[in-house]
A and B are shown apart, each in its own frame.
Chain A
Amino acid sequence: DAKTTQPPSMDCAEGRAANLPCNHSTISGNEYVYWYRQIHSQGPQYIIHGLKNNETNEMASLIITEDRKSSTLILPHATLRDTAVYYCIVRAPNFGNEKLTFGTGTRLTIIP
C-alpha cells in the first residue's frame, strides 16, 4: 500500500470549512484513497473514499488531484464535534490481505 503524508495538526474556526491535505505521491492506479477519523477515546469512523473522481457524502467532500498524488478532505461547516484525528489511507481492494495501515494522522481542532 502507498505511503501517505499528513500534517500533524491543524486548527479551524467553527462554522468554517476545514481542508485537510494528504500527500500520496506513490499511489498506484488501482489504489483508493480512504479517510477515517477518530474522536477522542472512540473507535475510528469511516468518512469517505474515492479512486479518481471527487466524492461527496453527508459528512464530507473528497477532492483528488488529476495526477492522484494528493487529496483534500473538506468538512464544509466544521463544528466542535469534528475535533478528532483524521487518517488518510491509500489501499487497493485486496481480498484476503487485511493489512490496512493507519499512520499518525492529522489532529484537527475546531476553535469556537
Chain B
Amino acid sequence: NAGVTQTPKFQVLKTGQSMTLQCAQDMNHEYMSWYRQDPGMGLRLIHYSVGAGITDQGEVPNGYNVSRSTTEDFPLRLLSAAPSQTSVYFCASRQTSGRETQYFGPGTRLLVL
C-alpha cells in the first residue's frame, strides 16, 4: 500500500490563480480530511469527508472547495489564491468502526505571491 499520497509536493501561485491539490489513499478509508499548518502553529482542519459524496466544513473552510466522487480521492481546490493561503497542506484518512487513528500524507507546500 502507498498509504496517503499528495501532489504536488511544492507549488508557487500568484494571487488570484486557482489550483487543485490532489490527495489519494489506497486503504479503502471512508474518512478523509484536509488540514493546513502555518509556521509555529498546530494543524487546522479545512474540510473533511465521511464518505463518497459527503463533505463538510472544518475550522477554516473559507477560500477552499472540496468534492469526494470516489472513496480514494479527495481533491482540495483553491478558487482564487491569496497570500494568506501560503501554508503546508496535509491530507489524512482513517477507518471507521471507532478507530480514530489518522494516516497523513507527506504534505504540499504552497506559496502564494
Given the known interface contacts A98-B33, A99-B58, A100-B33, the answer about A42 and B107 at a Cβ–Cβ threshold of 8 Å is: yes
Q: Are A98 and B50 closer than 8 Å at their CB atoms? A: yes
Residue among B45, B88, B103, B104 making CB contact with A98, cutoff 8 Å: B45
Binds B, one of A16-24, A59-67, A101-109: A101-109
Summarize A's interface: helix, strand, loop or mixed: loop
The answer to whether A45 and B104 touch across the interface, beta carbons within 8 angstroms, is yes
Tell me how many residues of B have a C-beta within 8 Å of chain A. Answer: 28
Report yes or no: A99 in contact with B101, Cβ–Cβ below 8 A.
Answer: no
Q: How many residues of A contact B (CB 8 A)?
A: 23
* Cα distance A91–B102 in the bound complex, in angstroms: 13
**In whole angstroms, how far apart are the Cα atoms of A32 and B102 in the complex?**
14
Judge whether B26 is part of the interface by a CB distance below 8 angstroms: no
Residues in A whose Cβ lies below 8 Å from that of B58: 98-99
Interface residues in B22-70 by Cβ distance below 8 A to A read 31, 33, 35, 40-45, 48, 50, 56, 58-59
> With A41-B107, A43-B107, A100-B33 given, is the CB distance from A95 to B100 under 8 Å?
no
Contact A104 B102 (CB under 8 A): no
Interfacial residues, chain B to chain A (CB-CB below 8 A): 4, 31, 33, 35, 40-45, 48, 50, 56, 58-59, 88, 90, 92, 96, 98, 100-107
Chain A residues packing against B (C-beta within 8 Å)? 32, 34, 36, 41-46, 49, 87, 91, 93, 95-96, 98-105
